[in-house]
Amino acid sequence: MAAKSIYGFWGILARIILRNRILILLLVTAFTVFLGLQWKNMKMSNTEANLLPDHHPANVEYQAFLKKFGEEGNIIVLAVKDSTLFTPAKFNRWNTLSKQLAAFPEIEFVLSTDNLQELVKDSSDQKFVLRPFILSKPKTKKAVDSLANHLFNDLPFYDHLIYNKKTHTIRMLAYMDQEVLNTAVRKDFILKDFQNLIDEFQSDTNLHVRISGMPYIRSKNAQNIIDEIGKFILAALIVTSVIFFFFFRSIRATFISMCVVIIGVMWSFGILGLLKFEITILTALIPPLIIVIGIPNCIFLINKYQQEVKKHGNQALSLQRVISKIGNATLMTNVTTASGFATFIFTDSTLLSEFGIVASINIICIFVLSLLIIPIVYSFMPLPKSKHLRHLNKKWIDTFVNWMERIVRERRIAVYITCISLLVISIIGIYQIKISGSPLADMPKKSGFFKDIRFYEQEFDGVLPVEIVVDTERKNGVLKMSTLKKMDQLGEVIKEIPELSPTISVVNMVKYTKQAFYGGLPKYYQMPTSQESSFIMDMARRSSENGNLLKSFVDSTGQTARMTTFMKDIETDRMEQIKDILRENIKSIFPPDRYRAYMTGNALLFLQGTKYLVKNLIISLALAILLIALFMAYLFRSFRMVIISLIPNLLPLIMTAGVMGYIGVPIKPSTILVFSIAFGISVDDTIHFLAKYRQELIANQWRIKKSVYAALHETGVSMFYTSIVLFFGFSVFVISNFGGTVALGALVSITLLFAMLANLILLPSLLLSLERSIANKRVLKEPQIDILPDDSDDIGKLDK
């Protein structure tokens, strides 16, 4: 009775849609305009992608660090590695660039050769004072060489901060105002005013400026994401329309389908604006995803319409049957796809949760648009001509389906052996998968700013900031010699790790005070001895200027200090090893009963976030499998059918994971999405096949073989069409500049190809092999929802 009532519902819905065509089109237009007005609320994400929930201990520590010392990633770094810089004209132009940068309100402070300060001893007042590095503008090459020689040989405090002594690379550090750092102002400033200033400098001097720093990287990355949205949408439209036309050979059908998905794309942008979600590297994928997922809906609906027209030539009856017979099946497949995306909502990550919400809503929206627009538009058009129906009798498709039938009929043992072999090989490959916890892993490797990142890694030993916080738990505890020596000891440990840069901390300042105390001789750039410490530190405390220098390294109470080092972009395994080495040394050098010392920083936060994400998305995938298994049980009311349906959909996921292991694609926030997305989409084919199979069982008095082959011939063409569209549709993501997006597109495409073959070969083979177990009405009871009603059902006339 449930199936009858559902079927009756779809028959009623078909009549409502076709009797209110103009009204529905007006409502769709009005809602499209409404969502179009929400576009103004869309905005790019201006903050770092935080993969950890707010309450996670690592996040709590990081937020406490930011509150005490400010944003760690607020520095734009400029560097020049060119000996011609040390000529009067170019050197003075470099210093002028520093002044020009400092004049912008978005820049808080610039540190460069132009405003560099030397620490010197004032013997009369018994304190240290700061003296400008450049006393007068150099006018000769000799004067510039003298300054350079003094910088590289006499000021070790600035080594790896302003210069590299070995290569004579010069740096400039521009500190952005923290109030604009995480706003759209940052991006506008960097991509316009800042970039114009650098271009002008390069044009004037013929010097190549290397630019890096998190504000710059994030702004360039955000612009790349925006550029790729348009590129993906255009590529998806071209690829899907070409394939669609190749299958249907109808400009009219292709144009209607493109209109449907374009409206779906407009709705996806509108929903992003309506919910006020930011555009991230993930939500940017939704518009092209809607095109790729929406086209199969159009294929099923248009294919059914043409089949009905060919069968009896009655347009009204054909359109009503399209809605009443395919509408429910398409709804079920879209619900399973949406379920795959919706599981991301439960990951406790804002980034993934928003992606899951918007994607799942838009998948249901594209279904609604397909179901409303296609039948209504076709109702205003004449019947398809015979040339538009020729594709239904293509010999090559029949050859493909017949080939699959022969395999299922004659080579089932070979199918099982092949599947088991692939399963074993894939499981071996899974054990070779690595996790990537680097925030640079998905950045466009061919872009200029990424090449500059590699330059900074080579010249200054790293770009990813790692912070070590030392809380002495008592006021002014940082400036005690015992604490400073412990910090120096940890700094020596860090110096021995080749993937880390030398630390920057209050210890460097203390060493510099000793050098200043002994007349600036560089050999005294070292920690004071016990005898020296009392009067040197007393002089340092009396120096008000020195207090300003210390504020970057020590909090206002003198209780907590930071030690900053920079890590190279390295393998996650090595990153974990370094983290363990540091943790052990921190614990031994700073006893937990006297100090509270810990590591934080964006790089470590991203690493932990990735590991947290892996754990949560495994749960998410398990939830998707459970939800869809329950859904299949509700549809078919048979435990055996649930198991049979899951096998051909889980095997492709395992095979894809194996491929990732063998070709070296790591698990990271982008690639881990593959499994839930692919599973949600691939199970659609299973539903279509099993629904038609059950229908054939009833029509053929429960004869399994005949029903399986009939279902294979009936659904094989549509499954092949949709799988090809999905394969090439997801393949458009390989044109991305982001490695993660490329991997996502390629892996989902491969998985869906595996899934198509599994559903067309392995699934029928399982049904035939388990013939005795399922060849009775008790196993295949009347389902709760009849998603493909029998052709003999009377759907009525439109004029009733």
Contacts of 99 (CB under 8 A, 6+ apart): 114
Pairwise CA distance, residues 762 & 658, whole Å: 19
In angstroms, what CA-CA distances link 612 with 135, 232, 302, 605? 53, 29, 44, 10
CA-CA distances (angstroms) from residue 662 to 659, 666, 728, 730? 5, 10, 23, 21
CB count within 10 Å of CB 75 equals: 18
Segments of the chain with pLDDT less than 70: 1-7, 45-51, 71-72, 384-397, 437-439, 441-442, 535-551, 635-636, 669-670, 771-800
- Tokens 């890096």 — which residue? 212
Q: Which residue has the tokens 């690592």?
A: 58
The answer for residues whose C-beta is within 8 angstroms of residue 447's C-beta and 6 or more apart is 220, 224, 737
Nearest CA to 233 out of 278, 263, 275 is that of: 263
Give the integer Cα–Cα distance in Å for 426 and 707.
Answer: 32
The string over 591-625, giving b where at least 16 C-beta atoms fall within 10 Å of a residue's C-beta and e elsewhere, is: eeeebebbbbbbbbbbbbbbbbbbebbeebbebbb
- What tokens appear for 333 in the block? 């497949």
Q: How far is CA 748 from the centre of its chain?
A: 14
Residue owning tokens 């989409």: 681
d(CA 548, CA 578): 32
Closest by CA position to 341, among listed 359, 329, 326: 359
What pLDDT does residue 5 have? 45
Non-local CB neighbours of 227 within 8 Å, separated by 6+ positions:
none
Please give the Cα distance from 337 to 292 (Å, whole number): 12
Position 779 scores a pLDDT of 46
Secondary-structure class of domain 2-48+220-431+606-774 per CATH: mainly alpha
pLDDT at residue 80, rounded to an integer: 92
Q: What is the pLDDT of residue 27?
A: 94
Structure confidence at residue 26 (pLDDT): 94
Q: What is the DSSP annotation of 532-556?
A: HHHHHHHHHHH-HHHHHHHTTTB-T
Could you tell me the pTM of the whole model? 0.74
As a three-state string, the secondary structure of 426-446 is: HHHHHCCCCECCCCCCCCCCC
Please answer whether residues 603 and 572 qualify as being in contact, where contact means their C-beta atoms are separated by less than 8 angstroms: no
Q: Say if strands 117-122 and 127-132 run parallel, antiparallel, or are unpaired.
A: antiparallel
CB count in 10 Å sphere of residue 698: 15
Helices (H) and strands (E) in the chain, counts: 29, 12
How far is 247 from 722, CA to CA, in rounded Å?
Answer: 10
